[in-house]
Amino acid sequence: MKLDELKAIREKAADKIAKRNADASQSEWKIVVSMGTSGILYGARDILKKILEEVESLELNVLVTQSGSFGLDDIEPVCAIYHNDEKIVYGKLKPEMIRELLETQIVNGNILTSYRVAVPGDIGNKPASE
């Protein structure tokens, strides 16, 4: 492994992170992809990959991570987007819809209602819409 390259990377990344942290308008977002067996069966691996790619290409300040099953097997693949104390769940995801989802939800701060799933615990607190 080319560990010596990491020094330069560290400096560059530290610079960017310091700038980003100084910008108060950049708030905390987190995306969690449900990666249980059924999620994987319905394509959650490609959804996670696409989210990572689009977050990078849109230069968003978002932590992207994965978890075990959300228990929403009939609408996999599923992800939850967290912003401060809010949680919004999106289901039946396809790689083609990820960019629109990130632009609408994170860049513009609007809920993309067409893909949104109201589940207990998300900000709508409505029963599951299935």
User: Do you find a cis peptide bond into 77, omega within 30 degrees of 0?
Assistant: yes
- CA atoms within a 13 Å half-sphere pointing along the CA-CB vector of 61: 15
Q: Does 40 bind another protein (CB under 8 A)?
A: yes
The CB-of-49 to ligand ADP minimum distance in angstroms stands at 21
The CB-of-40 to ligand ADP minimum distance in angstroms stands at 10
Pick from 22, 24, 68, 129: which binds another protein (CB under 8 A)?
A: 68
What is the total count of residues that contact ligand ADP (CB under 6 A)?
2
Pick from 21, 37, 110, 129: which binds ligand ADP (CB under 6 A)?
A: 37
Q: Does 36 bind ligand ADP (CB under 6 A)?
A: yes
Pick from 19, 26, 63, 110: which binds another protein (CB under 8 A)?
A: 63
Facing residues of 32 across strands?
65, 80
Task: Indicate the SS3 state at residue 6.
Answer: helix
Q: Does 22 bind another protein (CB under 8 A)?
A: no
Q: Does 45 bind another protein (CB under 8 A)?
A: yes
Element of type H or E holding 117: strand 116-117
Residues 6+ apart with CB under 8 A from 112: 90, 100, 101, 104, 105
Point out which residues bind ligand ADP (CB under 6 A): 36-37
